[in-house]
Structure 1
Amino acid sequence: MDKDLSHRSAEERQAERLRLEKDKLEAFFVWLERIKPKTLPKSALGKAVNYALNHRKGLSVFLQDGNIALSNNICERAIRNFTIGRKNWLFSASPKGAAASAAVYSIVETSKANGLEPFRYLTYLLEKLPNINFKIHPELLEDFLPWSKEVQQNCK
């Protein structure tokens, strides 16, 4: 459903979600309340029913804001490489090497999440950061975050 709404504004998506999904979601929770007494609490179904009912507010939040994604696929894709590589990093030569790898990986994935070209962003950081005295001016670090205007202009 949301693929059809991707070209619309957040307000229009929210209105369409309310129109198309609110009643279905409410009916789902009514059904859960109705079957809850008939399920064994420690069974897989009982655990699923209790989980859904206990997280009703969070599961309904997509109706309140059109900017909220209906799935976490974007996040799942972003961390997939990390979870695959995690076992490989167990074999880092040292704890400092593992920490450095994790820091670089974090920068790369954050740059991707913000629409930047990772190599350009790393190059930008490595060229610019050594010339900045963050101990005296820590507020300048904001200018190097992936969502800053200058970084967005130089690293896409």
Structure 2
Amino acid sequence: MSIEKTKEYFKRWNMEDRILEFDVSSATVALAAEAIGCEPKRIAKSLSFMVEKKAVLIVVAGDAKIDNPKYKAQFSTKAKMLKPDEVLELIGYEIGGVCPFGINEGVDVYLDESLKRFDSVYPACGSSNSAIELTIEELEMYSNYTSWIDVCKGWE
């Protein structure tokens, strides 16, 4: 199970016990917010795209949507999300549990500006019924992010 991969990832910092597991699905922003008991915008959703034949992960706030002109300005290409079977193969997690922790080698992680308005956010942890609360500084540290970017709309 993919949550085991995430637990192993967090073990090196003795943080695996901070992972929350639910008896209900947290596979969507709405379900995750309900399971956690927080506002949907505080869910950090991980979106996977193909950029120049390379998979990238963009972590955005739960209420944010990709803004195509901003995305094209950032990556010099049209936004093309990975297909479900590609997500597992290229990122290392199935849709509903995709997170920026313990992902496959060679995947660049970007954090969207929409997250900066929160003290802490809740990204998934590899399964469709898990999450972890992280401060923005912790998200930066544990996601091994490449850079902050501004590619979203609808959250301002």
TM-score, normalisation: structure 2? 0.23
The higher radius of gyration belongs to 1
Q: Relative contact order, CA 8 A, sep 6+: which one is greater? A: 2
Greater helix percent: which structure? Answer: 1
